[in-house]
Amino acid sequence: MKKKQPAQSAVEPKKGLKYDHEDILEFLDQNARHTFTFKQLARQLNITTKDEKVELALVLQQLSDNGGLTMLGDGSFQSVKGQRIITGRCDFVNARFAWIVSPETEEDTKVQADHLLWAQDGDMVKVRLFNYKNRGGQEGEVVEILSRARTTFVGKLENRGRFAFVIPDNKRAHFDIFVAGEDTMDAPSGHKVIVQIVDWGNAERNPVGIVTDILGAAGENNTEMHAILAEFGLPSAFPPAVEAEAEAISGTIPASEIAKRRDMRKVLTFTIDPVDAKDFDDALSFEELPNGNFSIGIHIADVTYYIKPNTELEREAYSRATSVYLVDRVVPMLPEKLSNNLCSLVPHEDRLTFGAIFEIDPQGHIVDEWFGRTVIYSDHRFSYESAQEVLDNKDGLHLRPLTILNELAHKLRDIRFQNGAIGFESPEVKFVLDERGKPLAVTPKVRKDTHKLVEEFMLLANKQVAEFVFNKRKGKLRNTMVYRIHEPPHQERVKIFAAFSKKFGYKLSLEPDQISASLNNFIEALQGKPEQDVLQNLAIRTMTKARYSTEVIGHFGLAFKHYSHFTSPIRRYPDMMAHRLLQHYLDGGDPVDAQAEEAKCKHSSDMEKKAADAERASIKYKQVEFMQLQNTSRTWDGIVSGVTEWGFYVEITETKCEGLVRISDLRDDFYELDSDNYRLIGQRTKRTINFGDKIEVRVKATNLEKRTIDLVLVDEDLERYKRAKNSPRSTKAKRYH
């Protein structure tokens, strides 16, 4: 990415030139909205002789160097007074160009790589818009970088002795970083390092950095997981001061504290979590009432009892804002003594909790509710699988409570869908790893009734807490609360997706009040179809992203007018916020400052996105690693999950791994993209490869560093091509290549 700078010239125009600097600037300023090529300027200024044209070129060069005028990307000239400057964020999608996303323009602005001034993905920049548009739309050039999204990068070091280069892991970092020999920390070639940029370079040279940490040999599991965390700016260890503060917390619960709480220790209570869970932040209590109703308690770890404002633990929890779940590890928001011990609702121990307790009738309707601090004693720890086994076999520990809770969960779910909730379920995968972290197997996760049971009661608690705070006003003032909000999808995006789905025989309504029902009908129609996962993923991408806010917008996907996150304070900072706010209002407190809470919400949303990106990167890495370890002759069934001008993507049905079949590897014909119909068409054979097609593939190559998989088709036509190519009597295939 090198920008060609015009050469400096100290040559002054000869006295015989018809126009001097001021005359040319005056002419351009008077026509500031227009651009002029050299020939047009010469004609306008009545410059005709060869010598005059040479002198005009020198003047224009000098004025351009000095900033008196601007030479645009197409070689034309324009007065600086006629140019529009915008501010935006750099979206650096590939090595050739970037888009500048700005609220000041209706469309994104395209900037070629050599006009970026080394702006990187996520940087905030000032851009001068060119006074013309190409077929791709508005273009411009970066004139100033206002702030850097990042100044540290993770990458593999190539040591050349007196100097080295670091090749960033980040796919949107389209450059190598120069490191002087004395600044490498003696890291060997092939090791992953963290490098700090100290000089962003210029038109003639790359950015310069210094190595600040050595992560280990590339390809080793621990190295790669730490590299992913560092790539997204996420921590891998707690500062000593935070650990020390956690260790100093007493594990004894004072009797005076228990006396302040609703004592639930004699009520049947249990947890249901993943089999490998280390922290249990929610528990369910169950009682049958004399009137035939049920008392169901959702008890959440009272993290805020242990973590007080203005402490090292509080500052670290806010900074992290969330736990991070990579394939082989959890990077917790709280130190282990809290997350896996004091705050974890382990069985057969007294634990401090925050409770949402509901009286629910057999039809799933809430008759009464109570919120406040509780103390519990968990009688049993179920895994999802062990609880499901009790339900399936209709036999085992706590069969009746589990059965009733499951029946109520189904009714709560039915009520949600009657109210317009959408039944999206993103397919997830799980890995079986060996002791070195190598993937032995990758399979789709299966959600059973026990998963949905826990989910429904957590949704209920989150919804009712939010409604309680919203309705508990102090006079005419509305109480500030942290909500989990989800806006309806943008109409244009729904329109595009509806048109796309129609090509596969699915009809979606565009009416705002019918979108939810229409999407649920769509999801139901997809069940069991080969294209189910890929189309449902596209539908999810059509939706807006849920986020945290103090705004009262509601949650479109869940069809809740008010919804908060209350049930996972061990791993989410907004849940800690919700606990504090709820207790504040239970104590009769005034509405808190909304602006301060909104800033915390924004930070938490940003950190949540980073954590999700890191999780996806770790999954993709392990998927590529798994495919790399497989026999290359093995064939896989898959679904075409995307088509582009360079090939088509295939999601492998068994593992959910996605790879690319490149057009250059389709040897039976020349293929062109039919973007309107989401397919590739062979010029000679008219063979089509469509989005959603079932297809058989084999792995051609894997690249762990880039986290990519290249696939080739296993196809009768291609096998016939190979046989023909290897036959000396046949030249037919060569003509088609």
Average pLDDT over residues 540-566: 94
Looking at residue 718, its pLDDT comes to: 52
Looking at residue 74, its pLDDT comes to: 61
Looking at residue 532, its pLDDT comes to: 80
Beta-carbon contacts of 321 under 8 Å, excluding residues fewer than 6 positions away, are 333, 572, 573, 574, 603, 604, 606, 607, 608
Q: From CA 674, how far away is CA 666, in angstroms rounded? A: 16
- Tokens 């469309």, residue located: 107
**Among 642, 604, 323, which Cα is nearest to 485's?**
604
- Tokens 């004699």, residue located: 266
Whether 98 contacts 55, CB under 8 Å: no
What is the CA angle 700-703-709, rounded to 5?
45
What is the CA angle 16-17-22, rounded to 5?
130
Looking at residue 350, its pLDDT comes to: 97
What would the 3-class secondary structure string for 592-639 be?
A: CCHHHHHHHHHHHHHHHHHHHHHHHHHHHHHHHHHHHCCCCCCEEEEE
- Residue 161 tokens read as 């002795």
Q: From CA 287, how far away is CA 8, in angstroms rounded? A: 85
Residue 730 pLDDT > 50: no
Question: Which amino acid would we find at residue 444?
Answer: P
Q: From CA 190, how far away is CA 217, in angstroms rounded? A: 6
Q: How confident is the model at residue 17 (pLDDT cuts 50, 70, 90)?
A: low
Q: What pairing do the DSSP bridges indicate for beta strands 324-326 and 329-331?
A: antiparallel
- Tokens 């492998």, residue located: 652
Where do the domains of the chain lie, and which CATH numbers do they carry? 21-81 (1.10.10.10), 84-147 (2.40.50.140), 152-218 (2.40.50.700), 240-313+322-402 (no CATH), 449-612 (no CATH), 630-736 (2.40.50.140)
Residue 627 pLDDT > 50: yes
Alpha carbon 546 to its chain's center: 12
Residue 737 pLDDT > 50: no
Q: How confident is the model at residue 728 (pLDDT cuts 50, 70, 90)?
A: very low
Q: Where are the beta strands (DSSP E) in 241-387?
A: 262-263, 269-273, 282-288, 294-301, 324-326, 329-331, 350-360, 366-377, 380-383
Residues 92-111 pLDDT 10s: 877 888 999 998 888 889 98
- Coil, helix or strand at residue 506: coil
Q: What is the CA radius of gyration of the chain?
A: 31
Residues 501-520 pLDDT 10s: 887 788 888 787 888 888 88
Average pLDDT over residues 535-552: 90
Residues 451-499 pLDDT 10s: 999 999 999 999 999 999 999 877 778 999 999 999 998 888 888 888 8
Q: How confident is the model at residue 73 (pLDDT cuts 50, 70, 90)?
A: low
